[in-house]
Structure 1
């Protein structure tokens, strides 16, 4: 039996973030990870996909000078692995600190203070569960499995498929659609809902989809997939059945928390299929045990896991903070890029709220024109008191602009105060200031 101050199950952004923070504050920490450190985000998620997005940006830029330019996919794969390995080495260095021990293995609970792997047993007063999530498969008949992939398998593909069908128009599906269309695949997206990216303002989502359609991506909205066979993907739309064939098929219908084999019942930890139940301090139903990141099902974003890690460790040590998880920016790295924070106009209308919505357009911005990135729009939402409560955007560097608004929202800034803030010229950020000036 090895005793320590804190056991962390999972070495992803939440787990290694919690470990580093707790160690700096004086705790002895054991991190148990069954696979590579860095979690889904670093190894088969955020980082490799953003590496590919960058390569797609470079290819589009090259094509302005040479329309026949093509992708060297083997070089892309090498660079992808180099980036992953460099960042993974950084996480391993973090977890090699004197007060942190990294243990490789599958962890499960013995009781509320005891965790075991196949090799060892560990005991701690405090435990943080940070096991992340995995791809969720839809309840459809799949008789042809050779061409079917999740995002993990697609990131390991050794060539650019001639054609790609993507089931699901969420963040994962839309990012891969944008990437592979640029790389040269014929891309088809099939989505059950009326619009793509349901967490995004519907006006912004529609404009983004239309922009991607102009690039040659086919969308079938309000379409329910019924089967995947050797003939392709069969779906029903408006009472009619259609089949689309492709060399590769990506299932991107969401993710589910990794709960299996943890034996949560042994510690008396409450959970549902949506994740481990936690309160605002990330505390589970069992005293001393916390759950952060995708495994609690609250917000499946790497940066959410990182901030939840801080909240959990602060609670363990009795430290106070003012982290507001309701202000959670997010980005979709398609082309054009999209991002959002806070309330959407759809939400405000559905709740009958008094609000104002100001729209700004990239085409009127000097930097956007200089960059040849004039396609884009910003929607700035304020409540009846003029306080900024949301912002949704698509267009170049939308994530950077939304991050600015997110920071301002954390400070309770009003539209009037935003108007008084000087913005550098020429920048895309001026779009935000110009939008705030609209009466």
Structure 2
């Protein structure tokens, strides 16, 4: 958000607001970030306390399954505590993938190579930053540091950025950031790191990029080791805990939610997965559905998507129609996004006349996409969506315009 405010200040002349001698206090921004995080964490702890939840902070180890239940040992400072539960919910999350590239481990020890965790606490703005991996986290950090003055280079193995994001959206996002000065090296493989360079291969040749810091952001993997899953025989599938639609593992009365099951790896997905697990633990049948979970890339402009892309619709053999409309069809968007070139892409299942996917780039897409998720989740017919009234003027009207077009 601070980077967005800075962008508004720098480019305010487009809206008749001119700012001179703009200063950006990155150290203050990091301190404020920590304050906000502490406030949110404290709020969660208070909520747990109000609901009479005992919170134990320590290193846990699943020891065994007994007639009484699952025995868990927790190392709390210098003491060991034992807890026994008839049921268990595992939510150990994920961690950054660290590839076996020469120079990476040494770089991490020296503070030259960072993961998303360390870079969020970095108080000095690097003059030159290399981001290895053009996925969501890498792009968000590239966007931030580009806005505050770093020279950013993104190195990506694939032929496009933003992973499984719609091709047209990812292409437009890359074009936007190329204009802002970010360099993208696609179809490129990092081979080694020195103390000041990232060396990569592309088209059979070797290249190098000088930098002050490197962000390692090639993905995340579920945390499934170090706490005794093997002691009770929990089954894994490609490094993640295998669960069914009710969140159940292969071990009776053991459930798993969040990144550790490798399904969606988004915080809001984890909330819902945990609800499904708890409901089933309490005897209320509930199932997890993933077809209407929204995804957001918090760049500037934002990217927000939900449902099928053209690629996935084709793979599933869905007979669909697609409409792509410029966000400029929304008067609010035009007023607030000078020179904006965002789009809204809508996919409709022709057989059932239902909305199955929406992909947007442009602010504030992240605040609009939940409405689309609701439409897809409830399987609303296109004719019913056309009868909805959208407030005017809002950027959300672009959805109505896209469907009518």
Partner of 1:236: 201
Partner of 2:344: 378
Partner of 2:331: 366
CA deviations on 1:173-232 (whole Å, 9 max, x unpaired) are: 000000000010000000000101122101111111111111110000110110111240
C-alpha separation in 2, matches of 1:359 and 1:68: 40
Partner of 1:43: none
Query: TM-score, normalising length from structure 2?
Result: 0.92
In the TM superposition, residue 414 of structure 1 has moved relative to its aligned partner by: 2.2
C-alpha separation in 2, matches of 1:274 and 1:422: 46
Partner of 2:150: 185
SS at match of 1:104: coil
1:299-314 mapped onto 2 (5 Å cutoff)? 299-314=264-279
Contact 1:166–1:187 (Cα < 8 Å) also in 2:
yes
CA deviations on 1:265-324 (whole Å, 9 max, x unpaired) are: 111111144311111111011101101000111110001110001000000111134653
Partner of 1:129: 90
Contact 2:154–2:185 (Cα < 8 Å) also in 1:
yes
Contact 2:276–2:287 (Cα < 8 Å) also in 1:
no
Contact 1:70–1:183 (Cα < 8 Å) also in 2:
no
Structure 1 counterpart of 2:71, from 105, 110, 114: 114
C-alpha separation in 1, matches of 2:377 and 2:282: 24
In the TM superposition, residue 410 of structure 1 has moved relative to its aligned partner by: 1.2
SS at match of 2:264: coil
SS at match of 2:234: coil
1:276-425 mapped onto 2 (5 Å cutoff)? 276-321=241-286, 324-373=289-338, 374-384=340-350, 385-425=352-392
C-alpha separation in 2, matches of 1:278 and 1:98: 28
In the TM superposition, residue 364 of structure 1 has moved relative to its aligned partner by: 2.4
SS at match of 2:50: coil
Contact 1:163–1:187 (Cα < 8 Å) also in 2:
yes
C-alpha separation in 2, matches of 1:66 and 1:136: 42
In the TM superposition, residue 155 of structure 1 has moved relative to its aligned partner by: 0.9
Number of residue pairs the alignment of both structures matches: 385
C-alpha separation in 2, matches of 1:424 and 1:231: 52
Higher normalized contact order (CA 8 Å, seq sep 6+, divided by chain length): 1
Aligned: 1:58 with 2:23:
no
Deviates more, 1:310-319 or 1:109-118: 109-118
Aligned: 1:84 with 2:37:
yes
C-alpha separation in 1, matches of 2:203 and 2:375: 44
Aligned pair in 2 of structure 1 residues 205, 164: CA closer, same or farther (>3 Å)?
same
Instruction: Provide structure 2 residue ranges, at least 5 long, that are not aligned to the other structure.
Output: 13-17
Partner of 1:246: 211
In the TM superposition, residue 350 of structure 1 has moved relative to its aligned partner by: 3.5
Contact 1:337–1:397 (Cα < 8 Å) also in 2:
yes
Partner of 2:121: 156
C-alpha separation in 2, matches of 1:406 and 1:370: 26
Deviates more, 1:360-369 or 1:300-309: 360-369
Partner of 2:15: none
In the TM superposition, residue 68 of structure 1 has moved relative to its aligned partner by: 4.9
Instruction: Provide structure 1 residue ranges, at least 5 long, that are not aligned to the other structure.
Output: 1-53
C-alpha separation in 1, matches of 2:287 and 2:216: 38
C-alpha separation in 2, matches of 1:324 and 1:346: 20
* Runs of 4+, deviation exceeding 4 Å: none
Contact 1:339–1:399 (Cα < 8 Å) also in 2:
yes
In the TM superposition, residue 423 of structure 1 has moved relative to its aligned partner by: 0.8
SS at match of 2:98: coil
Aligned pair in 2 of structure 1 residues 98, 402: CA closer, same or farther (>3 Å)?
closer
SS at match of 1:96: helix
Contact 1:164–1:186 (Cα < 8 Å) also in 2:
yes
CA deviations on 1:352-390 (whole Å, 9 max, x unpaired) are: 421000112112221011112532111111112211111
Contact 1:212–1:335 (Cα < 8 Å) also in 2:
no
SS at match of 1:281: coil
Deviates more, 1:165-174 or 1:274-283: 274-283
